[in-house]
Structure 1
Amino acid sequence: MPFFAGGRLVASQLQRALTKVEYAVGSGSVLGPATNADITGAAVTFTTETAGAAYAAFAVWDVDINTASTATGTARISVDGTPQSPLATFGAEVATDRFTTCQNYKGTLAAAGTHTIKLIASPGTEQRIQGMNSSILVLVFEVV
């Protein structure tokens, strides 16, 4: 519903005009090999009032290599149970390597209601995602 000059504004319109900010940090680790494993604690759940709300997500995964390997691991977000692209990728051939990999996302939530966006990862053998240093920041923009 648009705003019109001289029109009455209702609280729900103002509420939808505000950007929702959601943030979470992981609490558990994932040791590979794994496929699209949840990063425990690194999930946000929120409710939209209208269909077509947009989101921007910024994701960070802390990767620790336990043993020399040529495997390439991947990570991404999941929106309401559906893995999203693009992938964050990682790999290293030295057992002492550790680094942070990140990726950002944008999309539209087709329906109004409760939504969950979370970090997932597919580390290779002897690759570990340190959840306590992995995080997700989501901005949600409602249709006014």
Structure 2
Amino acid sequence: MPFYAGQRLTAGQMGRIQPRPTTAVGTATLTGPQTNADIPGATVTVTTETANATYKALAVFDLRATIASTGTALGRMSLDGVPQNPLATYNTPAASGRATVVQVYQGTLPTVGSHTLKLVATLAASQEAVGVNSSIMVDILEVI
């Protein structure tokens, strides 16, 4: 809905056009093997008031190998239970390798209501996602 010259705006309309940043930091380490498992605490829940709200998300994954590993650790954001692309990837053949990997997501929340965005990881047996150094930041912008 566009604004019109001379239109009286409600507080709700003005509130929806402001970006609403929300962040969460992981609370515990996730140890492999895992497939698209939640990184504990790295979850954001937002409630939209209009259909087709847009989001921008920055996901930070702290991934490490505890012993020599040939597997690739994967991190991604899950939106309402559906893992999203692109992937954050990490692979090291050395013991105790570590990397902080960042990925960016952008999209539309097509329905009104509650939405959950969280970090998930796929890990080999010798890999971990360090929760206290993994985080997600989400900006929501609603259309009016």
TM-score (norm 1): 0.97
Return the alpha-carbon distance in structure 2 between the equivalents of residues 86 and 107 of structure 1. Answer: 12
Q: Could you tell me which residue of structure 2 aligns to residue 122 of structure 1?
A: 122
Q: Could you tell me which residue of structure 2 aligns to residue 14 of structure 1?
A: 14
Counterpart AA for 1:59: A
Return the alpha-carbon distance in structure 1 between the equivalents of residues 30 and 141 of structure 2. Answer: 31
| Superposition map of 1:49-128 within 5 A | 49-128=49-128
Return the alpha-carbon distance in structure 2 between the equivalents of residues 81 and 48 of structure 1. Answer: 17
Q: Secondary structure at the match of 1:122?
A: strand
User: How much does 1:2 deviate?
Assistant: 1.7
Q: Secondary structure at the match of 2:105?
A: strand
**Identity of counterpart residues, as a percentage?**
50
Q: Is the 8 A contact 2:36 2:120 kept in 1?
A: yes
- Is residue 23 from structure 1 mapped to residue 23 from structure 2 by the alignment? yes
Return the alpha-carbon distance in structure 2 between the equivalents of residues 81 and 99 of structure 1. Answer: 26
Counterpart AA for 1:8: R
Give a deviation string over 1:60-102, Cα, whole Å, max 9, x none: 0111210101101111000011110111111101112111011
Gaps of 5+ in 2: none
Counterpart AA for 2:134: S
Root mean square deviation, CA, Å: 0.8
Q: Could you tell me which residue of structure 2 aligns to residue 32 of structure 1?
A: 32
Q: Secondary structure at the match of 2:116?
A: strand
Please identify, of 1-10 and 12-21, the stretch whose mean Cα deviation from structure 2 is larger.
1-10
Counterpart AA for 1:127: Q
- Is residue 4 from structure 1 mapped to residue 11 from structure 2 by the alignment? no
User: How much does 1:58 deviate?
Assistant: 0.4
Q: Secondary structure at the match of 2:12?
A: helix
Question: Stretches of 4+ moved more than 4 A in 1?
Answer: none
Q: Is the 8 A contact 2:45 2:116 kept in 1?
A: yes
Gaps of 5+ in 1: none
Query: How many positions carry a matched residue from both structures?
Result: 144
